[in-house]
Structure 1
Amino acid sequence: MPTKKTASHFATQSRIILPGSQKAAFAQTATEKPAPAAIRITVSVVVKRKAPLKTANRLGKERLTRVQFRQAHGPDPNALKLVRAFAKEYGLTPVPGTPAPGSRIIKLTGSITAMQKAFGAPLVHKTTETATYRVREGSITLPSELSGSVEAVLGLDNRPQAEPHFRIAGDTRNFAARTAQAGGFATPHASIQPSAQQANISYTPVQVAQFYQFPANASAAGQTIGILELGGGYRAADITAYFKSLGQPTPKVTAVSVDGGKNSPSTSSSADGEVMLDIEVSAAVAPGANIAVYFAPNTDQGFLDALDAAIHDTTNKPSVISISWGSAEANWTQQSMTALDAACQSAAALGITVTAAAGDNGSTDGGTGNNVDFPSSSPHVLACGGTKLTGSGTTITSEVVWNELANNEGATGGGVSNVFPLPAWQSSTNVPAPGKATGGRGVPDVCGNADPATGYTVRVDGQDLVIGGTSAVAPLWAGLIAVANQQNGATAGLLQPQIYAAKAKAGFRDITSGDNGSFSAGPGWDACTGLGSPITATLIPFLTTTASGKKPTKPKPTKPTKRKK
């Protein structure tokens, strides 16, 4: 029998540009050829919500249960119906089980030829000295009927999106992080030898927690810390040996695969340094917490899918999510930032805190002029900046802005977003003017020890290394929040409305010395260290369930229907 052809419904419609989908040209020198037509790829399509989240939901003032969230703010059923019909017409196949409960991401699989026709985006393979990437440039187009129903399409392009914000002491050229950023495609470099670290001070995460006055015998039992990783892996033997050296029980660490990403440890000069830093710092300062590590490819699609998976994970149920990867706002498409910020809004509505590193390249964030790092620039993320800390016993003797740019060893990120406007809770903090009228959000919110010269002693692939970077601060704060959640008996959720309140000032050590290039520290909030580093025992009571102190609302129980006899 002849194959029945699908009616050309969408193909006859005029095309519209998907807002925010403009993708920059490939910057590196590379050879180019068309992407092989028969190769099958999977894209992530974000559809609109049934109903927008209320402001009170986005600020965490009115919490939602997962059931309430799915019923009111899950994917719009009409949008899903349209996308499935569109996919069928263009020869694309929806991935079974997508969207997952609570998620708005439907995944579609198809050939390169089908994808190019469906999304109006030519795809080419560009090969550099070290890797081949699938690249699209310009905008995505959609049939006009899909306007407003589709908010993002990610996965057509698989260029590396983010870099990890860790630095090994003595690695003045930051080889390890650059290798990790390329997802393993870059040429590996030798790890730093102990002799290069001898001039530096180092601390265990437990010592740093003592400096920051974590409660004695702090516990995060019953909490799960989610960690996003876009490469690398961990070895169970290293984790066991490390926590034995600290005199702590080995934490339960679970690897979660997203988009084919896996726990893949290799060498200490890879993203393993990032993975181990995140696990060891967060678990050491939050004894008893479980750790769930979400491994995904280093693409904008992988980043969003990993965050989405962590937020809607009803198996591991993280109450706080730590992100140590990011990139300057200018390196992202607007659709990617919008989709990731929307996911963080969902986290806030569900009472989940998201922490993110503010970057390791000072006020430029590695670009031209002043830039801030995303996702730390999202107002729904706790942005974590870095300091240089020295202390004796359990007492801090000095804490200043981390800035080792003169030694090519990095500096804390910080500045003003050009994408996200000034949040209400920062309105009285004298955030500098943004470079663009669309911006205004000040970065970071908080800080902690990050200078590799006063870094953290961690174990990576059988080696003891000293590692710093704002990558250490995001898991440090994630651990602090897990301890607070356990002690307060409720999740903290979005912290900013609480911690920017005047009464919370006593919970911070104000950092007033140093700069990150264009911005200087001073009394109160600043664009280097935010509100300051934590005085944890004092701060924890301020991290109440919501800004209004109300507990999450619970759905009314439904009465069972009586069966007729």
Structure 2
Amino acid sequence: MTKHPLPGSERQLAPGSKVVAQCDPSETIQVVVVLRRKDEQQFAQMMKKIEAGAADAKLLTRDELEQRFGASAEDIAKLKAFATQHGLTVVREDASARTVVLSGKIDQFQKAFDVQLQHYEHQSMGRFRGRTGAISVPDDLHGVVTAVLGLDDRPQARPHFRIRPPFQPARAQPASSFTPLQLASLYQFPQGDGSGQCIGIVELGGGYRTADLDNYFASLGVRSPKVVSVGVDQSGNHPTGDPNGPDSEVTLDIEIAGAIAPAATIAVYFTTNSDAGFIDAVSQAVHDKTNKPSVISISWGAPESVWTAQSMKAFNDVLQSAAAIGVTVCAASGDSGSGDGVGDGSDHVDFPASSPYVLACGGTSLQGSGQSVSHEVVWNDGANGGASGGGVSGAFPVPAWQEGLSASAAQGGKQALTGRGVPDVAGDASPLTGYDVIVDGNNTVVGGTSAVAPLWAALIARINGAKGAPVGFVNPKLYKASGACNDITQGNNGSYAATTGWDACTGLGSPNGVKVAAAL
């Protein structure tokens, strides 16, 4: 039987990592297998209309997506036969998400997919199970399986939040902070409370304490929203008690979204920080027929360069499905400026923010009071203070709604976009003008583009609630609507400068909520 390497599954040895031990062949692990879509051509034609913002573009229900464009029963049967042959068991199958989760011993997976799994040690990633080279599949799964995720369990993404440092920074602007409600007022959000909506939030670790949430919402005079914890792949709500860890991300996301849309249900999807966990959690949020989120907020990501091609494609397919059923996905663009923290002197953009199917959210530094913003510039607090992620994708082409745009360089000059431009929009993100939150019992001020994704998600939830229908994939409409965002024209994020119109620091700008609602 011939084996075929799975396209895009090649893994290199991560620079700076070394093999420290062989894996125990009898250890049990779980792996997520992604299958091809039924009727791919028809799906692509339908998506073209949605991506162009065509008036006659038809959205699908979750059930229609499953029936018409899920995984075929035949493909699932082929994979199950292969699993049985190798002694692997099926833990979960989901035709709509096109995923099958397999469980088995490491030895069985090594033989099934022709890989060797070893334990690696890396200075920043710690110890992880990894592999090098490609994953192989037999003849009858060639072209049927599009990704095999979870053989490698290295930490895939990082949260994009920044806690305000205790020292007083050496800059003219005094530090200030805002509650989410004050920002909703400054950004002229339309009236509403997100009634009838569900906001999905994806978290790769940490947890929230109900006491923190209750205290926080009470301090704002807002009723506590209904928060539902959804565990994905053996994960759940596990607060660590460390306010500098992922608890800050989880709590920040819930507090911002919940304060602005308190009548919405907030479904928090907890998973492990690996490419398999991340993709599976977003997929479960998109396909969730119980909570049915109409908008999803993602505050985690990593430079495009650290993803395998199969992982990025599988993730992008999930985000494309979200657009097909009218779910808006807001993703943080990163907190390390135009280099995205890679440190190789080149420019990088963050994924999933660089997917053409998400609303990528960059960061600003803001001054204002009441309903008027007096000064707003690109968030850039210097090398250690953080800056708005943004730039040009090396993985995705220029989408229809960005055609003809160019990126302005900080050194002067403009260059026509050669790939998807990031971000699309922005909002307050500097920790020096950050958000008042309560994490692990402490009042703290947090910033980062992490805060901007739930801010925009809550705005979308308010608009959806008032409209009684989801606005869905918003990018084509926002790019057509001049003046729906406050144009940011000052500052840079390293390599790119803010300018009139779209730029690779703050996108179209920060929201004027009432105008955004009118545009959508």
Is residue 489 from structure 1 mapped to residue 483 from structure 2 by the alignment?
Answer: no
Structure 1: how far apart are the matches of 2:201 and 2:28? 29
Compute the displacement of 1:428 (Å).
Answer: 2.7
- What secondary structure sits across from 2:196 in the alignment? coil
User: 1:111 Cα shift?
Assistant: 0.7
1:514 and 2:515 correspond: no
Q: Secondary structure in 2 aligned to 1:388? A: strand
- Aligned match for 1:529, one of 506, 514, 518: 506
Partner of 1:16: 4
Instruction: Tell whether 2:449 aligns with 1:455.
Output: no
Corresponding residue for residue 298 of structure 1:
273
Distance (Å, rounded) in 2 between the aligned partners of 1:511 and 1:432 = 13
Partners of 2:470 and 2:134 lie apart in 1 by 40
Matched, 1:382 2:377: no
Q: CA deviation at 1:352?
A: 0.5
Q: CA deviation at 1:195?
A: 12
* SS, match of residue 396 in structure 2: strand
Residues 366 and 194 (structure 1), Cα distance of their counterparts in 2 relative to 1, 3 Å cut: closer
C-alpha distance in structure 2 between counterparts of 1:72 and 1:29, whole Å: 44
**Residues 407 and 496 in structure 2, CA contact (< 8 A), matched pair in contact too:** no
Q: Does residue 204 of structure 2 align to residue 230 of structure 1?
A: yes
Alpha carbons of 1:202 and 1:432: their partners in 2 closer, same or farther (altered >3 Å)? closer
Count of residue pairs the alignment pairs up? 501
Quick one: which of 387, 390, 394 aligns to 2:371? Answer: 394
Q: Post-superposition, which runs of at least 4 consecutive aligned residues in structure 1 deviate over 6 A?
A: 193-196
Match of 2:128 in 1: 133
CA separation of 1:26 and 1:195: change in aligned 2, threshold 3 A:
closer
Distance change >3 Å, CA 131–CA 431, structure 1 → 2: closer
Residue from 199, 214, 219 that aligns with 1:240: 214
Instruction: Check conservation: 2:301, 2:334, Cα contact below 8 A.
Output: yes
Q: Which moved more, 1:80-89 or 1:319-328?
A: 80-89
Trace 1:138-217 onto structure 2 (pairs within 5 A).
138-170=133-165, 200-216=175-191
- Do the aligned residues in 2 keep the contact of 1:234 with 1:265 (CA within 8 Å)? yes
Percentage of pairs with the same residue: 50
1:93-108 matches, cutoff 5 A = 93-95=89-91, 97-99=92-94, 101-108=95-102
Q: What per-residue deviation string (whole Å, max 9, x for no partner) do you get for residues 402-444 of structure 1?
A: 01124x11000000000000001100322579xxx99610000
Task: Give the deviation of 1:85 after TM superposition.
Answer: 1.5
Matches within 5 A, 1:331-346: 331-346=306-321
Structural RMSD (CA)? 2.1
Using a 3 Å threshold, how does the CA distance of structure 1 residues 353 and 269 change in structure 2: closer, same or farther?
A: same
State whether residues 420 and 438 of structure 1, in contact with CA within 8 Å, keep that contact through their aligned partners in structure 2.
Answer: no
In 2, distance between residues paired with 1:513 and 1:256? 41
Quick one: which amino acid aligns to residue 212 of structure 1? Y
Deviation of the 1:242 alpha carbon: 0.2
Contact 1:514 1:521 in 2 (8 A): yes
Provide Cα deviations, 1:267-312, integer angstroms capped at 9, x if missing partner.
2121000001100111112231110000000000000110011011
Aligned to 1:57: 47
Contact 2:28–2:106 under 8 Å retained in 1 = yes
SS at match of 1:44: strand
2:68 matches 1:68: no
Structure-2 residue corresponding to 1:429: 405
Contact 1:50 1:77 (C-alpha < 8 Å) held by counterparts: no
* Aligned counterparts of 2:279 and 2:489: Cα–Cα separation in 1: 36
Cα deviation, residue 90, structure 1: 1.5
> Distance between the aligned counterparts of 1:21 and 1:166, measured in 2?
30
Task: Kindly indicate whether residue 236 of structure 2 is the aligned counterpart of residue 259 of structure 1.
Answer: no
2:422 aligns with one of 443, 456, 471: 443
User: Does structure 2 retain, via aligned residues, the 8 Å contact 1:429–1:524?
Assistant: no
User: Whole-Å Cα distance in 1 between the matches of residues 365 and 407 of structure 2?
Assistant: 23
- In structure 2, stretches of 5+ residues that fail to align are 52-56, 410-415
**Residue 120 in structure 1 maps to residue 114 in structure 2:** yes
Q: Given the alignment, which residue of 368, 392, 397 partners 1:416?
A: 392
1:30 Cα deviation after fit: 4.3
Partners of 1:284 and 1:340 in 2: CA distance: 29
Query: In structure 2, do the counterparts of structure 1 residues 362 and 221 end up closer, same or farther at CA, with 3 Å as the change threshold?
Result: same
How far has the Cα of 1:199 moved from its partner? 5.4
**1:83 CA displacement:** 1.1
Greater Rg by CA: 1
Q: Distance in 2 between matches of 1:375 and 1:29?
A: 24
Corresponding residue for residue 105 of structure 2: 111
TM-score normalised to structure 1 length: 0.86
Structure-to-structure mapping, 1:273-288, within 5 angstroms: 273-288=248-263
Tell me the equivalent position of 1:329: 304
Shift of residue 137, structure 1, vs aligned partner: 1.5
Counterpart check, 1:371 vs 2:348: yes
Distance 2:471 2:230 in 1: 24
> Alpha-carbon deviations, 1:314-368, whole Å to 9, x = none?
1111000000000000010011110011001111111101110000000010122
CA distance in 1: counterparts of 2:59 and 2:370, whole angstroms: 41
Q: 1:527 to 1:463 in 2, by over 3 A?
A: same
- Structure 1's unaligned 5+ residue stretches are 1-12, 171-191, 544-565
Tell me how far apart the structure 1 counterparts of residues 500 and 299 of structure 2 sit (CA, whole Å).
27
Cα distance in 2 between the residues matched to 1:44 and 1:29: 24
